[in-house]
Structure 1
């Protein structure tokens, strides 16, 4: 099955004419099904958690992140999201997902998620100690970090999310390579810990092309060393584009499938109402 479950409407609005482009592109690429996974920062239900976890002081990081939280964030409730998706489901084969950041208060996250019938929930590490490390505007912070610390922090966040039990998929694993800060040390011990946590939590790996076409690293995430460990442990996968605009739906899907097949993968996961079906990888 050809599917793409990691996409966002945030660059536009809940306008049927604008989002129709995602479905048109999916049709052009022969996609059998797509899913929308709106970021948790779309929804005011998560607002307090962002203000609790992010650095928001007078540092250059804090000032940027203060403005980030005020720009195109928290503009639709989760109920409004489901109402809009219900309209789309009348015309299209589409699943309703969500991508949730690695908040410190996982109990609060669980209380929010349990109220809604998502088809799947992606958990993604987007912050390290309150720093939005994937923001190019504050990329200079990378020059001040020890990569051993970064890998330790990132791995700890995966372990915390997996232990919480709220998530079906880990989004873009180890995208900490995105600005081409590559460690000289062997990161395998970190990867083994992360994969063990994911396996225990029965989570799926997101093979994500967003880092290939949107970031300097220009590689599909997760990178080859993680894929080697994950495949040996039999972790299931989905192939996604992380599209933020219609023309990126399904971007580099065939390349990602080829990448997955090189590690022995022949199947992917189809989600419906948090239930899974193993289907052929196409």
Structure 2
């Protein structure tokens, strides 16, 4: 069996006809089971955490991010999300996940998450010092930072997520390569730190094809060096598409399976509901 547990409804709506497109795409690509992992910025329960953490001044980054927070954000409550998932479950096997940004107040995050019956929780580094580094509209900000600072900041944020003990999966690990800023220094210490933190927290690697088809780097995340490190540390993987549109569900899933097998993986995670998991053959 194949799975895809990382996808988002945010460009559409909680409409059954719209969601049906994800299931159609999964079937067409031989994927038997999917789960939605709505971004935390979908939900007003997380709104204050964004305003607490993001750069929101009148500069280049802040001006954009203020507009970003006012556009298509915080439009469904978590109760509405779970009600919609229950509608989908009348026709389909589907899991209810969430992708949570790397907020600084993890105690507040925990309070929100523990109130709802998620099947799995993805924690993803999306902000470095309050800057949404993966956003094309403000990609020029990369020129204002050294890559060593970027790698240190990313690693520290991933370690914080792992230490919180709230997350099943680290989303798209080391996607800081997405705009093709490649280091000319040894990054092994950073890879080792993140893998060790994930191991302590019993976290799963999100083998994410989205960075291949959505960003200039055109590579899966994690990139090969971290895949090797993850395998050495015994970290399990789950293959995902990071689909933001129905037609992208399970995109490059077969290639992701081959990619994982190249690094020695023979099994992947299947989520069984209620934060449960099992290892199944990677085929």
Q: Distance in 1 between matches of 2:277 and 2:85?
A: 20
Deviations 1:32-84 (A, max 9, x none): 10000000000000000000000000101000000000000000000000000
Q: Which residue of 2 aligns with 1:56?
A: 56
SS in structure 1 opposite 2:10?
coil
Q: Which residue of 2 aligns with 1:150?
A: 150
Shift, 1:193, TM fit: 0.4
Q: Which residue of 2 aligns with 1:218?
A: 218
Deviations 1:233-274 (A, max 9, x none): 110000000000010000011111111000111111111110
Q: Which residue of 2 aligns with 1:88?
A: 88
Deviations 1:4-44 (A, max 9, x none): 00000001000101111001111111211000000000000
Q: Distance in 2 between matches of 1:228 and 1:27?
A: 30
Q: Which residue of 1 aligns with 2:171?
A: 171
Q: Distance in 2 between matches of 1:280 and 1:11?
A: 33
SS in structure 2 opposite 1:61?
helix
TM-score, scaled to structure 1:
0.99
Structure 1 segments, 4+ long, off by >4 Å, are none
Segments of 5+ residues of structure 2 without an aligned counterpart are none
Task: Write the mapping of 1:98-117 to structure 2, written as runs, cut at 5 A.
Answer: 98-117=98-117
SS in structure 1 opposite 2:99?
strand
2:272 paired with 1:264: no
SS in structure 2 opposite 1:57?
coil
Q: Distance in 1 between matches of 2:121 and 2:63?
A: 30
TM-score, scaled to structure 2:
0.99
Q: Distance in 2 between matches of 1:193 and 1:42?
A: 31
Q: Distance in 2 between matches of 1:152 and 1:63?
A: 26
Q: Distance in 1 between matches of 2:4 and 2:135?
A: 24
Answer yes or no: is the 8 Å Cα contact 2:29–2:251 preserved in 1.
no
Q: Distance in 1 between matches of 2:93 and 2:282?
A: 18
Q: Distance in 1 between matches of 2:226 and 2:26?
A: 28
Number of equivalenced pairs: 282
Q: Which residue of 2 aligns with 1:67?
A: 67
Q: Which residue of 2 aligns with 1:183?
A: 183
SS in structure 2 opposite 1:221?
coil
Q: Distance in 1 between matches of 2:186 and 2:32?
A: 39
Q: Distance in 2 between matches of 1:229 and 1:277?
A: 22
Q: Distance in 2 between matches of 1:81 and 1:95?
A: 12
Segments of 5+ residues of structure 1 without an aligned counterpart are none
